[in-house]
Amino acid sequence: MSIVKIDEKKRQKAVDSYKLVGTLPEKSYDNITQIASYICGTPIALITMLDYNRNFLKSHYGVPFNESPREISFCTHAIQTHDPIFIIPDAREDDRFKDNPLVTGPMKAIFYAGVPLVDKGGHALGTLCVFDHEPRTLNEHQVSTLIALASQVVNLFELRRQNIENKALQKNLLKKNSLLKEFAGVVSHDMKMPLANIITTTDILKAKYKELLDEKGLDYLNYLKSSSFSLSEYISGILQHYESDNLTIDQRDSFDIHDLLEEVEDMLNHDYKTVIHLPEANHIISCNRAALHQIFINLLGNSIKYNDKEEPEITVTFTEDSDFYRFEVIDNGIGIPQDKIDKIFELFSIVASKDKNGNRGNGIGLSTVKKLVANLGGRISVASVEGEGSTFSFSARKQDIPTQIAGPENDTSALKN
């Protein structure tokens, strides 16, 4: 039997990375020791982790304690071998163990078989081991099964460490996202005033020096104003996107659907060539009014801007069932290419290069709509035929439930084509 030279500092660091030492019993580990005891026919089975100065028993079947001093541990010897299993048929006849308190004391550990628990870095963390009060051995089937069970213990260890790493990564991402949102909010607010000053100054220059400027000079001023407006809309979109997190299902108002849609129509300030059909029957619903208002601002606004028909038309429908309010926004606009329909709800995803007024979109509005619908416990999907129009269908949950429970209802992976 060859002895492994162990780098104890690295091995202990590996043990610490699983954060298992000192934890409470868990059924998944206790099931394995119970099976090991049954397969091997032994009264004791343990899952051990060798800590700095103790042998911690993550699972202890057949003994009442959950740790012992490391210096008397059989497992200290087991992890130092290259062999897949370390067996002591009769500890009373082995000079290393015959005077060990585990052998001479109440535990009466005469027989021992331990499989080192080796992680993917090659570090032996502890063992899956069995004890008996009488000398004995294991047959080939028992040995192979004990080794297989030890492999499952290591898999449980790895799943735990992966979960720890995932939680740390999630915490870090949440922190960075919070800082990004804060940064975006501060920068956006700070930029809006200078942009407003640029737009106002451009109008003053045109009014005061119009006679002194040639046609190209006036074009430059118009371009400056148009670009400032575009940037201002872009900043407003970013602010709405991040502030949409504050509009949740828990904030409810009772309101008239027609009043809400008429208010949205007035705010859009369109040229009224577009005919907007409201739901035939009016309804009073209980929902987050601000969130629904912003959803319709974006959906109706897009239906108006991206329409090339001589008679633009939009229809808003409403139905409800026991769990959800359901809305549709149907237009006869330019439609969405099939190769882009799965990406339209992604932040900064742009479908059309320009709207009917020649302005380029910023790819923020529909991403904001998706977040708002999710916050209302619903889902959103789209069906579209390029050149003929689009139908956006979305829902809002009627009952107050935690937003995270409503996840499946917000799955947009199955958008209708």
Most confident of 192-196, 249-253, 327-331, 352-356: 327-331
Question: In the predicted model, what is the mean pLDDT of the chain?
Answer: 84
**55 near 76, Cβ under 8 Å?**
yes
pLDDT at res. 417 = 30
Tell me the pLDDT band of 149, cut-offs 50, 70 and 90.
Answer: very high
**391 near 328, Cβ under 8 Å?**
yes
Here the tokens at position 180 are: 């990004």
Closest CA to 21 of 168, 171, 160, 162: 160
Give the Å distances, CA to CA, from 62 to 109, 129, 151, 155.
12, 12, 22, 24
Q: Is the dihedral of CA 125, 130, 131, 136 positive or negative?
A: negative
pLDDT at res. 409 = 41
Give me the residues paired with residue 397 across strands.
324
Reported as a single tens digit per residue, the pLDDT across 203-230 is: 888 888 888 888 888 888 887 877 776 6
Instruction: Look at residue 412 and tell me whether its pLDDT is greater than 50.
Output: no
Alpha carbons 74 and 55: distance in angstroms, whole number: 10
Alpha carbons 389 and 300: distance in angstroms, whole number: 13
**249 near 377, Cβ under 8 Å?**
yes
pLDDT at res. 306 = 87
pLDDT at res. 233 = 64
Alpha carbons 256 and 167: distance in angstroms, whole number: 43
- What structural domains and CATH numbers belong to the chain? 8-167 (3.30.450.40), 248-417 (3.30.565.10)
Instruction: Look at residue 199 and tell me whether its pLDDT is greater than 60.
Output: yes
**Which alpha helices (DSSP H) does 210-243 contain, by range?**
215-243
Give the range among 77-91, 114-128, 164-178, 386-400 with minimum mean pLDDT: 164-178
pTM of the predicted protein model: 0.52
Closest CA to 342 of 303, 316, 380, 378: 380
Instruction: Look at residue 143 and tell me whether its pLDDT is greater than 70.
Output: yes
Instruction: Look at residue 382 and tell me whether its pLDDT is greater than 70.
Output: yes
**330 near 304, Cβ under 8 Å?**
no
Closest CA to 392 of 335, 350, 329: 329
- Give all strands (DSSP E) within 242-357, no chain letters: 253-256, 275-277, 284-287, 313-320, 324-331
Tell me the pLDDT band of 269, cut-offs 50, 70 and 90.
Answer: low
**362 near 237, Cβ under 8 Å?**
yes
Alpha carbons 107 and 241: distance in angstroms, whole number: 65
- Give all strands (DSSP E) within 264-404, no chain letters: 275-277, 284-287, 313-320, 324-331, 380-385, 389-397
The pairing of strands 380-385 and 389-397 is: antiparallel
The pairing of strands 389-397 and 324-331 is: antiparallel
Cα 187 from chain centre:
26
Percent of the chain residues past pLDDT 90, beyond the cut: 50
Stated length of the chain: 417
Reported as a single tens digit per residue, the pLDDT across 20-47 is: 999 999 999 999 999 999 999 999 999 9
Instruction: Look at residue 97 and tell me whether its pLDDT is greater than 80.
Output: yes
Here the tokens at position 1 are: 């039997």
**360 near 339, Cβ under 8 Å?**
no
Tell me the pLDDT band of 116, cut-offs 50, 70 and 90.
Answer: very high
Instruction: Look at residue 147 and tell me whether its pLDDT is greater than 80.
Output: yes
Tell me the pLDDT band of 323, cut-offs 50, 70 and 90.
Answer: very high
Instruction: Look at residue 284 and tell me whether its pLDDT is greater than 80.
Output: yes
pLDDT at res. 69 = 94
pLDDT at res. 405 = 34
Instruction: Look at residue 407 and tell me whether its pLDDT is greater than 50.
Output: no
pLDDT at res. 227 = 72
Here the tokens at position 398 are: 């009627």
User: Three-state DSSP class for 124?
Assistant: strand
pLDDT at res. 46 = 98
**49 near 126, Cβ under 8 Å?**
yes
